[in-house]
Amino acid sequence: WMDDTLHVELVMPFVWHSAFEDLKEQCSADLLRITGAKAIDWKLSHNIATLKRVKNQPGINGVKNIIAVSSGKGGVGKSSTAVNLALALAAKVGILDADIYGPSIPTMLGAENQRPTSPDGTHMAPIMSHGLATNSIGYLVTDDNAMVWRGPMASKALLQMLQETLWPDLDYLVLDMPPGTGDIQLTLAQNIPVTGAVVVTTPQDIALIDAKKGIVMFEKVEVPVLGIVENMSMHICSNCG
């Protein structure tokens, strides 16, 4: 410290904005008393660590961590959670819409009318929206076209979007997974170097049953479940209370 000011800089390996203010409040008085300083200059920076990947699979160029946001049942707020998680991380973040049959990320980010470009004729440049690097099959098809593809074809298309997108250097890439536990989900979990998964559900029993199935699927393919998001937990049913 210098000039009667104690300079404290924390470099965190993960996003840690929420607890920083609490730390300052809890420690400032003791630090001033112990050091004799008259003021404290706090600084927080991040150096996001690359965590261990499933089965040590090779990573995606420039991407440190991949987080899969999944749900056993559709309509529980999975895509909303994925978008808000990506925005809340407040780091260098991308989001890939892995829901081939029902892409919604372009609409949620207000970018549904944009189309990806190919600088080299082989790879796609991600579409930037709200500070996020994004890609989705929704950028390539119109709203009135249905993706009538079998599982292997859809899985191949998704792997191409993941591996052939010119992602910038990212701390996190969030995958908005399709709902369910079928062929596509298993193929993705086994072929994408996922750091961990987040399972989204609602409080209803029918949604929780499918969420449990999703957790079992991730356990079988050795993908760590980072947490469960209970969406709409404060909702009170107008019929049953």
Question: What is the domain partition of the chain in residue ranges?
Answer: 5-46, 54-230
Starting at the edge strand found earlier in the chain, the sheet holding 63-70 runs: 127-129, 132-136, 93-97, 170-176, 63-70, 196-201, 225-230
pLDDT over 60 (residue 1)? no
- 3-24 mean pLDDT: 87
Averaged pLDDT of the chain: 87
pLDDT over 80 (residue 91)? no
| 212 — pLDDT class (breaks 50, 70, 90) | very high
Say if domain 54-230 classifies as CATH 3.40.50.300. Answer: yes
Reduce the DSSP state of residue 75 to 3 states and report it. coil
Measured CA to CA in angstroms, residue 43 lies from 2, 3, 10, 53 at distances of 15, 17, 6, 30
> Between 169 and 191, where is the model more confident?
169
Pairing of strands 93-97, 170-176: parallel
pLDDT at 114: 92
What are 119-178's pLDDT values in tens digits?
998 899 999 999 999 999 999 887 666 667 777 888 888 888 998 999 999 999 999 988
pLDDT at 95: 94
Reduce the DSSP state of residue 40 to 3 states and report it. strand
pLDDT at 199: 94
| 82 — pLDDT class (breaks 50, 70, 90) | very high
How many whole angstroms separate alpha carbon 214 and alpha carbon 212? Answer: 5
pLDDT at 90: 66
- 219-226 mean pLDDT: 89
Structure tokens given for 14:
């993960």
How many whole angstroms separate alpha carbon 148 and alpha carbon 170? Answer: 32
What are 54-66's pLDDT values in tens digits?
666 677 888 999 9
pLDDT over 90 (residue 69)? yes
pLDDT over 80 (residue 70)? yes
pLDDT over 90 (residue 198)? yes
